[in-house]
Structure 1
Amino acid sequence: MTAKLEKSLGTLSLWGIAVGLVISGEYFGWSYGWGVSGTLGFLVTTVIVALMYTCFIFSFTELTTAIPHAGGPFAYSRRAYGETGGLIAGFATLIEFVFAPPAIALAIGAYLNVQYPQLDPKVAAVGAYLVFMVLNILGVKLAAMFELCVTVLAVGELLIFMGVVAPGFSMTNFVTNGWAGSDHFSFGTMSAIFAAIPFAIWFFLAIEGAAMAAEEAKDPKRTIPKAYLSGIITLVFLAFGVMIFAGGSGDWSKLSGINDPLPQAMKMVVGEHSNWLHMLVWIGLFGLIASFHGIILGYSRQFFALSRAGYLPKSLSKLSRFNTPYRATIAGGVIGIVAIYSDGIVELQGMGLTAAMITLAVFGAIVMYIMSMLSLFKLRKSEPNLQRTYRAPFYPVVPAIALGLAVLCLIAMIWFNREIAALFCVLMGIGYLYFTLTKQQRDDAEQDVLLAGK
């Protein structure tokens, strides 16, 4: 019998997953972009990326509602382009969702280190993995309820942050040396704008992961569009608000290479002994936890879907007595913990471990976005009668904008991150090698109607 997940998630829970998956991107990671392109340059980068994500989500929702499958992009691409298409999208998504959590776990460690300087951030990161893998294994309903609670707290904390630093905000602070370390726009600034793309994508990375909970959604054709569209509006507002208020709080250059920019920005305004600062550190952890917990849910479903379809060992699709893919959850956690201690990756592009992990995850995301939009166009032609209760608005313009900007982002990322691009290709190559050696495994897998399109 094919392993099936329980339908227990409503619109609010799905909104919590969609926003929660992403919201850590508002707390850390994006400020590395300031070190590359300056505040004004990065503002331009973020506008481009926000446009891409808005068009992408308005288009991607059509696929999610028409094919509500735990594999998300893997399912859409396989249905559109066959097994090889499924491989490309599935393994790219897996890279995104497996390598984003180590970066978030390290940020959790950095936030805790602010309060407890004696605590090793890596030890705290491993502890976070253990706690939230267990929570995910205990059941999706419990996991989604927790995700919603911490997401609401995290959104509220970002609004409080903006309110607390607002009295100290100065546009002069934000624009000083805002063009890649200069007060003037130049040709080099344009190059820096494109080089900062991975960190602008980090603002929104993984919102598509809610698609992996589609099999567990009640009435997905109605609940998913509401969750996705309200989610992208929430995230665009928070991304620009946090970035602008943090940049105007003081010397933004001091925030451009650290994992806890918001506490440090608040410290510039209220001082290091303010109760507001301590509140931000503690409640700010909820933002990191929301994404960390949500992405664990996402990668476990991707492992599960690929395993169930025969792309990975069958054992990874085994469900626990709580009806959760516990082996898939553990597998992603083991990879993430190893990555945390793989300091050799620091050598890539001269980046720190967190920035390198972010960039690697973004490569997976961009390839998956491209495959998803290509699948949307292909399925409109090959399956015109597919039930689509939601359709991408202004088709084909909106999905074409998403596809074009995703391709532009991929080209820019390869140009500026060649070593990490090579690592991404190696990981995809390993996936392809396994794919070529396991055809019988896929043939033996029970047919999935949503993948076959029959």
Structure 2
Amino acid sequence: MEQKQEQKQELKKNLGAVTAMATVVGSVIGSGVFFKPQAIYTATGGAPGLGMYAWLITGIVSIAAALTFSEVAIMIPKTGGIVAYLEEIYNPMIGFLAGWVQILLFYPAMISALAVAGGQQMAFFIGDGYVAPVAVAMIIIIIFLNSMGSKIGGSVQVIFTVCKMIPLILLMIFGFVRGAGTNPVFTPMVGEGLSPMVVLGQLMIAILFAFEGWTNVGAIAGEMKNPGKDLPVAIVGGVSLIMAVYFIINLAYLWVLPASELATLTAPASAVAVKIFGKLGGQIVSIGIIVSVFGSCNGFILSGSRVAYSLAAEGKFPFHKTFAKLNGAQVPANAIMLVGGIGAFYALSGQFNLLTDLAVFSSWTFYTLTFIGVIKLRKDRPNALRSYKVPLYPVVPLIAIASGIFVIINQIFLAGHRSTVISIASIIVMLLGLPAYMIIKKRL
């Protein structure tokens, strides 16, 4: 019943460009901007230049990606998102592997990374040494809230989406007002002996985490009055606004603390807040950041569990009968516990940057296949009805494809031992989906 209601809502064409733009901004802005300076300036060797430019470069890549992705999302208006798109563009096996990786890697890694970030932030109140326990506790609380019903999970999301803007605004304004502004911002580009291209790949992996959420434009498109005209405006305007916010707040960080110091801090935004407002003011901003993290984590448990439920309901996931069950509150509690439980297991690592890199690599493998799918669909179905076409075709899709390939190759071969291990582990998990698919195919 709930699914039918959702489908009816998607058919209502009542969103204009401004509302859609606000939805894009709300979906994307999360916690990455508060925690990623450490990974960024560690990669640059403590130099600020390329780190700042990388926010702009990655923003442009995200615009190209979202514009390209939207053509597929509108042309294939099926529930299931990228799983359904890849199944129709290529074959059911590719679609299954996308869902398999989303359930076992992408969503749990995003959930655990956010929870670990919350644990790092809580260190300002309870001291170091509790990151993993706090992260696991946060996930368990969110699992419990979401299992009580979709209204509660949805209400949590709305409240926390509003609250997360408060620390952003405070840091942007008072960083410039009270910061000294004496630290270098655009030079040097990278530290001595580092390759700018290799570093850029590492930076893009780090920053793409902060831009994650643009895939939601597919759902937005289904509710727009005139997607062909308004969707590019919503995407370019929304992601450009996000890019500006990210650039300005990182400029504000450097206005207060040098890049070399930000590279050493697991909670850089809180350190900046303490420098600006003092200990009490810094703690208040830290509470706002924890609220933001909690809301983002809730959103990924909410959406990730629906991917698991959707695949299970179609009989396309191991133990499908268990994960397709709805509880008394008419929510997929078992699917929520599956995705959240894997996330809690990953959170035991306590490694924020490792987990975000895992999430980005696992997702961009299939995003890139979707970008290629736009060109494939243009060739396979030249006469198909397209209410929206990616602008400047094929330039924009080629930018998205080239960026995806660059991120993947850099992560596997160039970004260092840890990145290579993460990538290989991600590929192994994906390949384990092949025997699972064969078993499920026989049953179907």
State the TM bucket, normalised to the shorter chain: 0.7 to 0.9
CA drift at 1:334: 1.0
CA drift at 1:119: 7.9
Q: Distance in 2 between matches of 1:20 and 1:74?
A: 20
What's the counterpart of residue 203 of structure 1?
A: 210
CA drift at 1:76: 0.6
TM-score, normalized by length of structure 2? Answer: 0.85
Residue type of the alignment partner of 1:6: E
What's the counterpart of residue 90 of structure 2?
A: 81
What's the counterpart of residue 398 of structure 1?
A: 396
Q: Does the 8 A contact of 1:98 with 1:336 survive in 2?
A: yes
Q: Does the 8 A contact of 1:56 with 1:399 survive in 2?
A: yes
CA drift at 1:328: 1.4
**Counterpart among 428, 431, 434 of residue 433 in structure 2:** 431
**Counterpart among 282, 286, 290 of residue 287 in structure 2:** 282
Query: What's the CA shift string for 1:95-136, capped at 9, x where partnerless?
Result: 222211111101111212212227822222122112222333
CA drift at 1:34: 0.9
Greater mean deviation of Cα atoms: 413-422 or 72-81: 413-422
Matched, 1:334 2:349: no
Greater mean deviation of Cα atoms: 200-209 or 400-409: 200-209
Counterparts in 2 of 1:272 and 1:47: CA distance versus 1, 3 Å: same
Q: Does the 8 A contact of 1:35 with 1:180 survive in 2?
A: no
Greater mean deviation of Cα atoms: 55-64 or 404-413: 55-64
Q: Does the 8 A contact of 2:59 with 2:239 survive in 1?
A: no
Alignment gaps of 5+ in structure 1: 344-351, 444-454
Query: What's the CA shift string for 1:254-304, capped at 9, x where partnerless?
Result: 22243321110122333334x3x2221111222212211111122112212
CA-based RMSD? 3.0
Q: Distance in 2 between matches of 1:223 and 1:386?
A: 18
Q: Distance in 2 between matches of 1:302 and 1:332?
A: 9
Q: Does the 8 A contact of 2:48 with 2:190 survive in 1?
A: yes
Residue type of the alignment partner of 2:121: Y
CA drift at 1:403: 1.1
Matched, 1:244 2:262: no
Counterparts in 2 of 1:170 and 1:318: CA distance versus 1, 3 Å: same
TM-score, normalized by length of structure 1? Answer: 0.84
CA drift at 1:234: 3.6
CA drift at 1:172: 4.1
Residue type of the alignment partner of 1:401: I
CA drift at 1:153: 2.1
**Counterpart among 38, 43, 67 of residue 58 in structure 1:** 67
What's the counterpart of residue 48 of structure 1?
A: 57
Equivalent residue of 1:272, what SS? Answer: helix
Query: What's the CA shift string for 1:339-397, capped at 9, x where partnerless?
Result: 122x4xxxxxxxx7221111111111211210111222222333345443332122222
Query: What's the CA shift string for 1:416-447, capped at 9, x where partnerless?
Result: 12111111111111112211222123x3xxxx
Q: Does the 8 A contact of 1:97 with 1:206 survive in 2?
A: no
Counterparts in 2 of 1:431 and 1:168: CA distance versus 1, 3 Å: same
Alignment of 1:55-454 (within 5 A): 55-94=64-103, 95-117=105-127, 120-169=130-179, 172-175=182-185, 178-182=188-192, 188-209=195-216, 211=218, 214=219, 220-222=223-225, 225=231, 231-273=238-280, 275=281, 277-313=282-318, 314-315=320-321, 316-341=323-348, 343=349, 353-415=351-413, 416=415, 417-441=419-443, 443=444
Give aligned pairs, total: 424
Q: Distance in 1 between matches of 2:345 and 2:407?
A: 29
What's the counterpart of residue 452 of structure 1?
A: none
CA drift at 1:86: 0.8
Q: Does the 8 A contact of 2:149 with 2:329 survive in 1?
A: yes
Q: Distance in 1 between matches of 2:333 and 2:22?
A: 24
Q: Distance in 1 between matches of 2:190 and 2:92?
A: 44
CA drift at 1:21: 5.3
Residue type of the alignment partner of 1:74: V
Q: Distance in 1 between matches of 2:194 and 2:260?
A: 21
Q: Distance in 2 between matches of 1:196 and 1:414?
A: 14
Equivalent residue of 1:393, what SS? Answer: coil
Counterparts in 2 of 1:100 and 1:304: CA distance versus 1, 3 Å: same
Equivalent residue of 2:279, what SS? Answer: coil
CA drift at 1:190: 3.5
CA drift at 1:145: 3.8
Query: What's the CA shift string for 1:78-107, capped at 9, x where partnerless?
Result: 110011221343334332222111111011
Greater mean deviation of Cα atoms: 402-411 or 14-23: 14-23
Residue type of the alignment partner of 2:69: F
Q: Distance in 2 between matches of 1:21 and 1:322?
A: 29
Greater mean deviation of Cα atoms: 222-231 or 200-209: 222-231
